[in-house]
Structure 1
Amino acid sequence: MLDVRRLHVLRAVVTSGSITAAAAHLGYTPSAVSQQMAALEKQAGTALLERVGRGVRPTAAGSLLTEHAALIGAAVARAESALADLRAGRTGSLSVRYFATAGSTLVAPALAWLRTEHPGVRVDLGLTDPRDPVREVARGDADLAVVIRTRGLVGDGFRLVHLLDDPYAAVLPLGHPLAGEDVIGLHELSGERWVGSEPPGPCLEPVLEACAAAGFSPGFVIQSEDYATAQGFVAAGLGIGLMPGLGLRARHPGVVVRPVRDPEPVRVISAAARESATGQPALRGLLAALREAATAGPWGGTRTRTAAAPD
């Protein structure tokens, strides 16, 4: 196999026309250049240079390899430039996953920032797998996923960065006896018919755990996995519900939303970032933009950590 560094030396010799001139250009001694050429000729299995007066000129094989050395040099220069662009965040790609209600509220404004600051970075978007939301990040198929954090959400290959504490509020039909209260004790909803708005999993767990702490289990009479539809059922007087702030951005005119206490259910929203990708400027910037979107939103959640700090 031909040595690329020796090809570079050959090109310098042919371009300058002498061993001595090439040595001066490269910062080598003439003896070192001669040794490099002898080794390259041995690798090539044929003579590459011939003497002409006080200089040298390439043989047919030498001319051939010099042409390829120029191509290799140009390719290396392009590779170095592309690498510099990637390191600076001017190019590259990010694979991002998210759950539905985080899409328009957190991911969309963060991606708008990314498009402005890193226009050359391509983004692959997709929904998380609700059964295992960090699976793609953990195995390196995605760079970042916006997830609901649960006690079992652990694994190798990624770090969790806190974005938002998203509290649940009581959603009541107009005219409900508790609709005039500023704050509702969760135990006051124990005897109600309930409209479910969460599928089994991390979004339902805070509701069930809070109700258990308040001394009851919610009696679901209708199940909907869509917040707009669930609000419609509540507005029709079919039951009450607990829904998170991100799910209540668009409110049905027939419902009243009130905070609950003792306890207040909260779902913790985090970004799971692939550990090996956190050095990329585009990913670091996207994390910061997600934190900014979490802070700026009108849904009443709280943000407590800095963008750079992993949980």
Structure 2
Amino acid sequence: MLDVRRMQVLRAVVTSGSVTAAAANLGYTPSAVSQQVAALEKQAGTALLERVGRGVRPTAAGRLLTEHAAVISQNVAEAETALADLRAGRIGLLAIRYFTTAGATLVAPAVARLRREYPGVRIDLKLNDAEDHPAGAAAEQSHADLALVVRPRDADAAALGEGTRLVHLLDDPFRAVIPLGHPLAAKRILDLTDLAAEPWVGSEPPGPCLDPVLDACAAAGFSPDFVVRSEDYATAQGFVAAGLGIGLMPRLTLGTGTRHPGVAVRPVRNPEPLRSIHAAVREVSLAQPALRGLLDALRDAATR
């Protein structure tokens, strides 16, 4: 295998026109330069230089290796420039995974700000509705620099894999969703016990989004009676509007454009169920200024 460093020494000799001049330019002794060229000739299996008067000129093989050495030098220079740009956040690629109900509220404004502040950074943005499935979210996170996940407020990041940090963004409170005209719709705020005797429409699969609901109901002294379930919030609201029961759904799922016209939405207390939304971040990716900027933008979006 040819030694790249020796090829650069050969290039210095060819461009300088002599071993002595190359040695002076490189800061080597002429003997050291001659030894490097001789070693490269041994690797190449052919002569690379021929003497002409007091100087040298390359053989055909010498010219070939000199040309390749120039290309290698240019590639290294370009790599160093690209690396400097990457460290400074001017270029790069960020893989981001998110779930539907956090998309419009958190991800959209954060990514828009990221593109303004780091226009040279490419974004691999994919929907991953695995916030209720820890195994799926962990697998997805292993391929992402940042993934939005739902986990308990004090969750251990180790469950998502080694080298992952959980950054808390916000607590998303659940709201009572009841049919218009239901007696409970007359109240501005509901105690969770107000819902104890009602039939329930489930909107969460087993996992981190359902657990806060079940835990809050247990703290209020009852278990919800799910008469129908749907893991789609729009369908669940339709079931409620049709009078099949009441439900608890996260506030982020009940925006103006996603609220069914046939339901009323009310805050719940004593206790108020909350789901915690985190950014699961690869710690090695935190070296990228763009990722740190994205985290700041997500925090700001969560605050608003």
For 1:25, the equivalent position in structure 2 comes to 25
Cα distance in 1 between the residues matched to 2:26 and 2:216 = 73
Aligned pairs (5 A) from 1:49-68: 49-68=49-68
Deviations 1:135-174 (A, max 9, x none): 2355x32222111014576232311111110111112223
For 2:200, the equivalent position in structure 1 comes to 194
Q: Which moved more, 1:33-42 or 1:196-205?
A: 33-42
- Contact 2:192–2:270, Cα closer than 8 Å, also in 1: yes
The RMSD of aligned alpha carbons is 2.0
For 2:81, the equivalent position in structure 1 comes to 81
Deviations 1:68-107 (A, max 9, x none): 1112112222222222232233333222222221122212
Cα distance in 1 between the residues matched to 2:174 and 2:76 = 56
For 1:309, the equivalent position in structure 2 comes to none
Unaligned runs of 5+ in 1: 297-311
- 209, 233, 239: which is aligned to 1:233? 239
- 143, 167, 183: which is aligned to 2:145? 143
For 1:273, the equivalent position in structure 2 comes to 281
Q: What is the CA-CA distance between 1:35 and the residue it aligns to?
A: 2.4
Cα distance in 1 between the residues matched to 2:156 and 2:23 = 63
Alpha carbons of 1:164 and 1:226: their partners in 2 closer, same or farther (altered >3 Å)? same
- 256, 267, 271: which is aligned to 1:259? 267
Alpha carbons of 1:133 and 1:272: their partners in 2 closer, same or farther (altered >3 Å)? farther
Note if 1:243 corresponds to 2:249.
yes
Q: What is the CA-CA distance between 1:128 and the residue it aligns to?
A: 4.2
Alpha carbons of 1:128 and 1:30: their partners in 2 closer, same or farther (altered >3 Å)? farther
Tell me the number of residue pairs that the alignment of Structure 1 and Structure 2 aligns.
295
Q: Which moved more, 1:84-93 or 1:51-60?
A: 84-93
Q: Provide TM-score, normalisation by structure 1.
A: 0.87
- Contact 1:137–1:157, Cα closer than 8 Å, also in 2: no
Note if 1:182 corresponds to 2:183.
no
Q: What is the CA-CA distance between 1:121 and the residue it aligns to?
A: 2.7
Cα distance in 1 between the residues matched to 2:137 and 2:285 = 15
Unaligned runs of 5+ in 2: none
- 128, 133, 137: which is aligned to 1:134? 137
For 1:219, the equivalent position in structure 2 comes to 225
Q: Provide TM-score, normalisation by structure 2.
A: 0.89
Percent identical across equivalent pairs? 72
Q: Larger % of helix: which?
A: 2
- Contact 1:171–1:257, Cα closer than 8 Å, also in 2: yes
Cα distance in 2 between the residues matched to 1:63 and 1:50 = 12
SS at match of 1:284: helix
